[in-house]
Amino acid sequence: MNYSAVFALGVGVFVIIFFGRIYLSRFKMIGEPNPARHVGDEKPLWQVFYFYSPRCSACKTITPVVEEHSKQYKQISAVDISTDLELAQQFHIRATPTAVFIENDIVSDVQLGSGIGQTMKDFIEKHGSAN
């Protein structure tokens, strides 16, 4: 029996399961209340939380785009998980880049990876600057 092939297959299955769980965990938050809501504060109709890490190579290409949007819309927050780990834990962030889209204080979508830029653009076009 070729044990190296069995070992390689085992490692491959482990990697697929590990990353599959991270990808599928995003669906757990959809429909949940906004973990960052504050009682008594003015509640915007929509919000976007973008979680990134300074060491993440995909984040380095997306973060400037998100920061540009956050200058125009106060509802968009860029969160560096290396400095604000508590907020990342409230949102159950397991990978970067991750964007959490919130409508009416309910999580409506969670995006992982490099597609965040286009999804954010579409979300902003849909909601505009409404508070």
Q: Which residues are annotated as catalytic?
A: 56, 59
Q: How far is CA 71 from CA 12, 20, 36, 91, 127, in A?
A: 42, 34, 20, 23, 16
Q: Find out whether 112 and 23 touch, Cβ atoms under 8 Å.
A: yes
Pairwise CA distance, residues 23 & 20, whole Å:
5
